[in-house]
Structure 1
Amino acid sequence: MRAVTRNGVSDVSGSWKKAGPEMPAPSYESIDSQPLNKAIMSLFRRKMVDAIGTDSHNKGYDAIVDLTRMLNSQRNNPRDTQIKTRQILLSLFPSWLPPAFKVMFSEPLPSLSCQLNAWVTMLTCQWLMGPCKVNDVEVDGGKLGIGQGVLVERCRYLEETGCASVCLNSCKIPTQEFFAKDMGLPLTMTPNYEDFSCQFSFGLTPKPATEDEAFATPCFVQCPSKQRHRGDRCPGADVDALMWT
């Protein structure tokens, strides 16, 4: 086997990747106990159940993880998972809101719209992703987007699901598509599979899948699917299947 480098880390072709931080995951009890987070988690679960057609026997965040795995396992290919996940995201909002926001805010006030979405993401999604903060990021044209980023310090969703394929197909791709197509804002999400951080950059158009390092990650050692896809690549991380229109 020959040594290769993915995401700046040496690996060996044919082996799975040891991903994530060494330190144990932090407690999310204080985040989960907040009334707003409880309400949003409950809403998200209901929308997932509606989309999948079945519920989990688990409670709290464990149910979200369980439903996510059900969603990924019942789809025929990664693209189906991406489409269904985007539909779930849309179902969280009144049908009129995304198109109205696109016309009233995204098109005439793109920078302000990016800032608004960064703050809303930071305030409403910590139950899903863990602690995060608004920051400045590079946006289209090489400009500095003040307050247009969200840095997830250690993604709870990625760590709990333990799968790069889930990260791509149930989070990164459908979320980027939701904001670009439904909210009218480009978004690039950059997961770091070494420390499980993730950078949201509102106002930055995503690279093609063939140029995005996230699509070349090896399968995680802790990946629950225990399957191989094209050697050591993560199940579902198939660039051909992940190309979207």
Structure 2
Amino acid sequence: MLDSLFLKKFNEIRVRHLGYRSPYEGWEAFVDSSFHEDRRFTDDRELARTVRASYVDFMGGPRTVRLLGRFARRFPRTATRLLTLLTPGLFRWLVGPMERTGKHELRITGCTFLGSTTPAICHRICKVPTEEYFTDTLSVPLTLTPDPRTTECRVEFTPYAPPKPGPGA
């Protein structure tokens, strides 16, 4: 039940950011809007901005996201550990069942998004924008490694490391 509420909320958020309401409901609406999003945005930066805006809204807005980023910068190992523990329960509705495979690693055992779309859409709408969002906005470097053949995806959170000062700094 919680999964269907999260999906409904995320679909409504995407309607606001995409300006497109799918004629379908539930998961089918999400997949349909993803195909629409892929066709509409030919510029990857614009697509990433739209995906990021949806993520920010879903996670409670800019203020909440800034607080989460500050927490991750201050307590990087704790943040990655918490994400590894919480993600399987909180995002099953979006990607399917997950299992922890390490301290900071997960495996999506059958990604419903990858299985419902295409490898290209997975790359453009999920992999690249999600990695950028977690790394740049939440300060938790994330690497997604999808396997289109098996629809599995490796998820690796890396504790935040502040940028090193450049020469002359």
The 8 Å contact of residues 135 and 142 in structure 2, kept in 1 or not, is answered as yes
How big is the shift at 1:135?
2.1
TM-score normalized by structure 2?
A: 0.88
Q: What CA deviation, in whole Å up to 9, does each residue of 1:153-175 have, x standing for no partner?
A: 011101101x1111111101111
Number of the residue aligned with 2:105 = 149
Unaligned runs of 5+ in 1: 1-34, 137-145, 206-245
CA distance in 2, matches of 1:86, 1:168: 15
1:188 is aligned to 143
Partner of 2:33: 67
- TM-score, with normalisation over the residues of structure 1? 0.62
Aligned-partner Cα distance in 2 for 1:204–1:188: 12
Structure having the higher Rg: 1
* CA deviations over 1:123-167 (Å, ceiling 9, x no partner): 11111211111221xxxxxxxxx2x11210011101101x11111
- Check conservation: 1:79, 1:169, Cα contact below 8 A: no
Larger helix proportion of the pair: 2
Determine whether 1:78 maps to 2:44: yes
CA distance in 2 between partners of 1:85 and 1:70 (Å)? 13
Give the superposition deviation at 1:198: 0.2
What CA RMSD, in Å, does the superposition of the two structures yield over aligned residues? 1.5
Which residue pairs with 1:102 in the alignment? 69
- Alpha-carbon distance in structure 2 between the residues aligned to 1:78 and 1:182: 17
Q: 2:114 aligns with which of 158, 165, 171?
A: 158
Q: In the alignment, which of 55, 65, 77 is matched to residue 21 of structure 2? A: 55
**Structure 2 stretches lacking a partner, 5+ long:** 161-169
- Runs of 4+ in structure 1 deviating by more than 4 angstroms, as ranges, are none
Length, aligned pairs only = 159
Matched with 1:200 is 155
| Cα drift, residue 120 of structure 1 | 2.3
- Of residues 79, 97, 101, the one that matches 1:131 is 97
Among all aligned residue pairs of Structure 1 and Structure 2, give the percentage whose two residues are the same amino acid.
Answer: 23
CA contact (8 A) 1:90 1:178 kept: no
Measure the CA separation in 2 of the matches of 1:197 and 1:151: 7
* Amino acid in the other structure paired with 2:155: F
The one-letter amino acid of 1:156's match is T
Say whether the 8 Å CA contact 2:131–2:142 is kept in structure 1.
Answer: yes
Partner Cα distance (1:84, 1:131) in 2: 26
